Amino acid sequence: MENLDVKNPDARLWRVSEVAAECGVHISTVYYWVRTGTLTPAPTPSGGAMRFTSDTVAALLFAREDRGGKSGSDA
């Protein structure tokens, strides 16, 4: 049940490690993006692990592609 998006129960939610692997970055980079507001996690139940919607991951990948694959700390 922790893998459900409350707005769209059929939507897949991504774990931090999955986002990092998809973007080709270290997990700490994903946490950095969250701290700086670059990436916004989906709402999770109290005590639940941080998850991200597919739309959020797609937007992040698009932005990285537009920047030539560089992260905020690289540019």
Residue-wise pLDDT for 33-49, tens only, equals 999 998 999 988 777 88
Q: What is the pLDDT of residue 17?
A: 96
Give the domains, in start order, of the chain with CATH numbers: 13-66 (1.10.1660.10)
SS3 59: helix
- How much of the chain exceeds pLDDT 90, in percent? 51
Mean pLDDT of 16-20: 96
- Between 32 and 60, the more confident residue is 32
Could you tell me the pTM of the whole model?
Answer: 0.71
Q: Which residues pair with 15 in a beta bridge?
A: 51
pLDDT of 75 strictly over 50: no
